Amino acid sequence: MYQIDFNKPCRVHFIGIGGISMSGLAEILLEEGFTVSGSDMKDSDLCRHLREAGARVTIGQAAENIEDPDVVVFTAAIHPDNPEFAAARDRGIPMLSRAELLGELMKNYGEAINVAGTHGKTTTTSMISEILLQAGKDPTITVGGMLPSIGGNIRVGGSDYFVAEACEYTNSFLSFFPTVSVILNVEADHLDFFKDIDDIRHSFREFILRLPQDERGLLVFNGDIREPEYFLSGLGCRVLTFGHGENCDYRAEDISYDEFARPSYTLMEKGQDRGRISLGVTGEHNVYNSLSAIAVARSLGMEIPEIAAALKAYKGTERRFEYKGQVRGFTIIDDYAHHPQEIEATLRTAAMYPHKKLWVAFQPHTYSRTKALLPEFAKALSGADSVILADIYAAREKNTVGITSADLAEKIAETGTDVHYLPDFESIRKFILDHVEEGDLLITMGAGNIVDIGNQLISM
């Protein structure tokens, strides 16, 4: 494995430098004095920003773009027949995947805080980041959504703190080197890669073992996860738990909500009442996300008042129960939920939000996930009064499993829930304008481009 050492800047070439994650990693290296080059298939604001920061960015990919780098970085979307990938391989130039580079970067920080879980990663990473920022800790941050307080998804800090999401898909997080790991939940997902839930649980156990197995390592673990002893047995690192259980180190008591479903609760820290915490984001699920963030912050020596102030100030990231506006008197919220548990959490939040009738325009994400979790999706979506289904967003897949949104519509109908399958966005927009009424709440939901429907309605 090629070593990235901030004390020894080298020449790094990125294949696919214009992606939101790759561009962020390139920016970190530029700030640390590395010589950065890269290519992408089309120009973009991110490419232009990197050029302004000193990178050499080429549009179009060709073997001659590989000049004399010390190491080449590539994403999972790059295939071996890519001309730049092939040129680097044939010349024996060291190569790192995006995940491997991210892991190498972590080694250069005293505290590398990783947030893992099937869902909630972006919000919790953002909460931890917000606390560190408010406390003046000057962290470096890489997050999977757009965080308003840093004006994007990346922040290059000047301290020893590094905060990052740790994604389990393709076992990316097994390339990381955390000193602090948060495990939010472990559920069945990404079944186009993992064999089953046991395979997923095994990967999370392996990720936990990436921590230093001594006092330098800290695991912040959701005590509500099924059979926690599987994950916790034999560990040498420190462990803090959060959740519902009386034995959890961090718990919430006396949860209440304001008129917009924003929770407040009494923080219990190792059995001691630490006062009220009020969140600037909605929903019970965010109570537990915030408990994990508090556990991390407390382990780093931060005081409750500064933590509480940061959590109240944090208003969320894009596409996490994001208020978009009103059209003809009905409210539009957008949410990234694309797993049944996420959908259930979002709809529990929506139930407390002012509305007459709750509509969900849902775009399933990937064929494999929809097929594997079809009954769970139907049950989760039955929490809405009416559901509008778009076609499945393919993402990285082809439909080899023979599933369509019509199958999901049939399952939802079996629950007695009003459901409408409309394949194209134009039909969905027209249906919404014809049927959603003043005082109703519409949530556009999914990890694909369903957000475009709300944006277009708002811009009318």
Residue pair 453/432 in contact (Cβ under 8 Å)? The answer is yes
Q: Tell me, what DSSP letter sits at residue 259?
A: T
Does residue 417 surpass a pLDDT of 90?
yes
Same-domain pairing of 166 and 38: no
For residue range 245-302, what is the model confidence (pLDDT) as tens digits? 999 999 999 999 988 888 999 999 999 999 999 999 988 889 999 999 999 999 999 9
| HSE-up (13 A, CA, CB side) for residue 460 | 14
Among 286, 313, 340, give the residue marking a domain's end: 313
Q: Has residue 430 been placed in a domain?
A: yes
The residue with tokens 């709300």 is: 454
Give the per-residue pLDDT at 147. 81
Mean pLDDT of all residues belonging to the chain: 92
Check if 270 is active-site: no
Could you tell me if 127 and 259 lie in one domain?
Answer: yes
Range(s) of the domain holding residue 35? 11-97
* Shared domain check, 246 and 290: yes
DSSP of 261-304: S-EEEEEEETTEEEEEEE-SS-SHHHHHHHHHHHHHHHHTT--H
Under 8 Å between Cβ of 173 and 99: yes
Structure tokens at 409: 């519509």
Catalytic residue among 27, 84, 104, 165: 165
pLDDT at 34: 97
The token pair that represents 103 in the structure block: 């892991």
pLDDT band at residue 94 using 50, 70 and 90 as cut-offs: very high
Residue 130 lies in a domain: yes
Three-class secondary structure of residue 34 per DSSP? coil
Domain boundary (279, 313, 347) is at: 313
Q: Higher confidence at residue 460 or residue 90? A: 90
- End residue of a domain, out of 56, 76, 97: 97
Place of tokens 């020893």: 160
Query: Does the pLDDT value for residue 341 go beyond 90?
Result: no
Give the chain's domain count: 3
Q: Which of 269, 275, 203 is nearest to 241 (CA)?
A: 269
* Same domain assignment for residues 302 and 180: yes
Kindly give the pairing relationship between strand 218-222 and strand 238-242. Answer: parallel
**268 in the same domain as 156:** yes
Give per-residue pLDDT as tens, 425-443. 999 999 999 999 999 999 9
Percent of the chain whose predicted confidence (pLDDT) is above 90: 74
* Same domain? 170 vs 305: yes
* pLDDT surpassing 80 at residue 317: no
Q: CA 218, CA 238: separation in Å to the nearest integer?
A: 5
179 in catalytic set: no
Higher pLDDT, 357 or 147: 357
Residues 283 and 370 in one domain: no
Lowest mean pLDDT among 53-62, 114-123, 192-201, 375-384: 192-201
Say which CATH number the domain at 372 has.
3.90.190.20
Instruction: Give the model's pLDDT for residue 120.
Output: 87
Residue 349 is predicted with a pLDDT of 81
Residues 301 and 427 in one domain: no
Residue 3: inside a domain = no
For the question of residue 130 being annotated catalytic, the response is: no
Q: CA neighbours within 13 Å on the CB side: how many for 250?
A: 22
Distance, in Å, from the CA atom of 140 to the CA atom of 138, rounded to the nearest integer, reads: 7
pLDDT at 28: 92
The per-residue pLDDT for range 375-405, each reduced to its tens digit, is 999 999 999 999 999 999 988 789 999 999 9
pLDDT in tens, 181-234: 999 999 877 767 778 889 999 999 999 999 999 999 999 999 999 999 999 999
For residues 142 and 252, state if they share a domain.
Answer: yes
Instruction: For residue 1, tell me if it sits in a domain.
Output: no
Cβ atoms within 10 A of the Cβ of 336, count?
25
Mean pLDDT across 47-72: 95
User: 176 pLDDT exceeds 70?
Assistant: yes
Residue in this structure with the two tokens 């959740």, named with its chain if needed: 243
Judge whether 22 lies within some domain: yes
Determine the 3-state secondary structure of 406 from DSSP. Answer: helix
- DSSP state string for 349-384: HHHTSS-SSEEEEE--B-HHHHHHTHHHHHHHHTTS
- Catalytic residue among 100, 104, 118, 122, which? 122
In the chain, pLDDT over 70 holds for what percent of residues?
99
pTM for the whole structure: 0.80
User: Is the pLDDT assigned to residue 338 strictly greater than 70?
Assistant: yes
- CATH no. for residue 226? 3.40.1190.10
Q: 102 in a domain, yes or no?
A: no
Alpha helices in 35-152 (DSSP H): 45-53, 83-90, 98-106, 121-134
- Can you give the pLDDT at residue 191? 64
Task: Quick: pLDDT tens for 143-172.
Answer: 877 788 887 778 888 899 999 999 887 888
- Residue-level pLDDT at 39: 95
What phi and psi values does residue 19 have, to the nearest 5 degrees? -65, 155
Reported residue count of the chain is 460
CB distance 428 to 453 below 8 Å: yes
Do 206 and 234 lie in one domain? The reply is: yes
Task: Find the catalytic residue in 27, 84, 104, 121.
Answer: 121
Say which CATH number the domain at 66 has. 3.40.50.720
Residues 256, 156: one domain?
yes
404 within domain boundaries: yes
The pLDDT confidence band at residue 76, using thresholds 50, 70 and 90, is: confident
Please check whether residue 104 lies inside any domain of the structure: no
Rg (CA), the chain: 23
Q: Which residues contact 45 (CB under 8 A, 6 or more apart)?
A: none
In sequence order, the 6+-apart residues with CB closer than 8 A to the CB of 111 are: 160, 161, 162, 179, 180, 300
Is the domain of 237 the same as that of 305? yes
